[in-house]
Amino acid sequence: MNYYLLSLLNSPLQSLTYQSIEQIEAGAVVDISLNGKTKQGVVLEKIDKPVFNTLDILHVSKLYFSDKQIKLVQFISNYYICSLGEAFSLLVPFDKEITCKDVEADFSDEIELSAKQNEALSFAKSKDVSLLFGDTGSGKTEIYMKLFGDVIREGKRAIFLMPEISLTPQMEQRLVAHFGSRVVMWHSKITKVAKEKILKRIRSGEVDIVAGARSALFTPMQDVGVIVVDEEHDDSYKSSSKPRYNARDMAIYMGQLYGARVLLGSATPSLGSYAKFPSFRLKGGHFESRKEYIYETSLEAITPLIENEIKKTKQKEGQSIVFIPTRANFKYLICASCGHKYQCPYCSVGMSVHQKSKTLKCHYCNFATQIPQVCPECKEHSLKSARLGTAEAVKHLQENLESLHVEQFDRDVITTQNKLIKTLKRFNDKEIDVLVGTQMLSKGHDYHDVTLAVVLGLDNMLNMSDYRAREKALSSLIQIAGRSGRKKEARVIVQTFNKEFFEAYIDDYERFLKDELEFRRGVYPPFKKLCRILFAHKNGAKAQSEMLDTVERLKHFNDVEVVGFGASAIEKIADKYRFMILLRATKSTDIIKAVLSVKSETAQIDMDPIEFA
């Protein structure tokens, strides 16, 4: 009899021991029985006979994880503090019955690069990890595609990451037009049946490029030669659920593990990437265009200035985009008589006003209720809405600019990939005059005739309790402004009380990065490592008690600083009370050592956090 240590797939449990008369290799996916139910596990290693009785392995499947995948899983488990089973659940295994065949590359090399683009390409090919710091419209995509072609000719394959699936339709068209059927898209909206077909092609070597959101990183690709992370600054690369990994950082680790080059790209790179990796600055765009910035000192509102500029843009046969960081009609419902804010009963946040469905909705737990007519506290009919949202802006523009076709572009309306593709097509076909949306507007879409960009809500971003608030606000402005003026002169209206800050850096993001480095030196990343420990429980006293006990335990680690602890900025979500501890250290190993001492079932560990609310 042989005895094996197994990791249970998608489970927080520690490794378990099972037996089999078969000789099974490490990485094999097997069926086992646990508490009367059939589960899947991964064989970690063969071990000596234990002192306790063990159950049989029921079946050895055709699926397996490679040695490199196992090393990757071990890194994820150790760094992001999760079980091996939870880390394995991120990856897609190989199939023993499908052998990977090398198929000769067959595509035309029609991409012409400028001298500067060729210089950037040579720079990327000379480095293990590099940053392409290229302005919006400077031709980063053409460099990526040329790099993919060169790698494929070497007999290797490529992974192309984009921060969200909202980016994939236009990019898919460009990739398929050049590389044909050797490209596949991979993201969460693909059906299970379609994924199985795609996986068969990946495993058999019929695919040279896997492109998509962060999960594309973990497909079973052989001979990966390059990993490109586009819009590398985007927070969407960070997983909000366990394991809380960052796909950009995982791509860099995988590059080392797989012997592949890694190229990060962005018009507004993250400060961490700019500080850590050699970068190539690619300035300007394919089309020489001038942008005029108009700063309006105002609270969030569709003002007469904005209305007039949208009208003039339409008269000149141009199109407009309006950015607002908030969905719905309004962010809050407040009583003008007593100041009561209508909050979610399960979360300590104000509920958003959705007038079309006549409901108040919580964007944290999805609880919804009818919009009240009177204040629940003082019983007055004095309820007022605050913080403009996308739906309200659309309503306002439709009522005041009746001759224009205005549409909403956010997660409330763009609920499927098909809707996204259709809306973008209608906008580029000029069937839509004004597109009003959230961050989706800035996600790398090509808008051909946008000559007016309106940016609202930046001051709210700038005032967030986040050490990256300045970086995020400026990056958002540059990204949205970059969607306009691709071929013609454009105007950008910026609604803010902080004109001096934005005006100082809007045309020189690199200067901002250098100044921000000095601001963070010795205190924040990239000079320090951060970790957030979150305690969430329906019993608030229990969550608070476990947090306080943990703080006392952490005080014994001299190399780790407890920056702060207490109730979270949003104290309750989905009827669970939340308390947090923020840790800081020079080395991640010191934080990991300290965090492993935490003995709490309610504790959630977030290494390199990006969310502080």
The CATH number of the structural domain formed by 2-95 is: 3.40.1440.60
Q: What residue ranges of the chain have pLDDT lower than 70?
A: 165-168, 285-289, 327-333, 336, 339, 355, 381-387, 444-446, 486, 613
454 forms bridges with which residues in the sheet?
Answer: 322, 493
CB of 455 within 8 A of CB of 495? yes
Q: Measure CA 174 to chain center.
A: 22
Fold for domain 115-282? Answer: Rossmann fold (3.40.50)
Q: Is 296 left (phi over 0), alpha (psi -120 to 50) or beta?
A: beta
Query: If you count them, how many residues does the chain have?
Result: 613
Amino acid at 114: S
CB of 579 within 8 A of CB of 573? no
The rounded mean pLDDT for the chain is: 89
CB of 360 within 8 A of CB of 323? no
Alpha helices, H only, 277-381 = 304-315
What is the pLDDT, as a whole number, of residue 335? 72
| Sign of the CA dihedral with 350 first, then 354, 360, and 366 last | negative
What is the pLDDT, as a whole number, of residue 445? 67
6: part of which helix (H) or strand (E)? strand 2-8
Tell me where in the chain the CATH 3.40.1440.60 domain(s) lie. Answer: 2-95
Residues 6+ apart with CB under 8 A from 184: 198, 201, 202, 207, 209, 210, 211
What is the pLDDT, as a whole number, of residue 165? 67
Tell me where in the chain the CATH 3.40.50.300 domain(s) lie. Answer: 115-282, 291-327+389-519
pLDDT per position as a tens digit, 487-531: 778 999 999 999 999 999 999 999 999 999 999 998 999 999 999
What is the pLDDT, as a whole number, of residue 353? 75
What is the pLDDT, as a whole number, of residue 279? 97
What is the pLDDT, as a whole number, of residue 327? 64
Task: Provide the token pair at 240.
Answer: 């909000």
CA atoms within 13 A on the CB side of 43: 29
What is the pLDDT, as a whole number, of residue 461? 86
- Look-up: residue for tokens 């819009």? 231
What is the pLDDT, as a whole number, of residue 613? 63
What is the pLDDT, as a whole number, of residue 287? 54
CB of 423 within 8 A of CB of 405? no
What is the pLDDT, as a whole number, of residue 379? 79
Q: Are strands 55-56 and 16-20 parallel, antiparallel or unpaired?
A: parallel
What is the pLDDT, as a whole number, of residue 100? 80
CATH 3.30.70.560 assigned to 529-607:
yes
End-to-end CA distance of the chain: 53
The CATH number of the structural domain formed by 291-327+389-519 is: 3.40.50.300
Q: Are strands 352-354 and 359-361 parallel, antiparallel or unpaired?
A: antiparallel
CA distance 125 to 226: 10
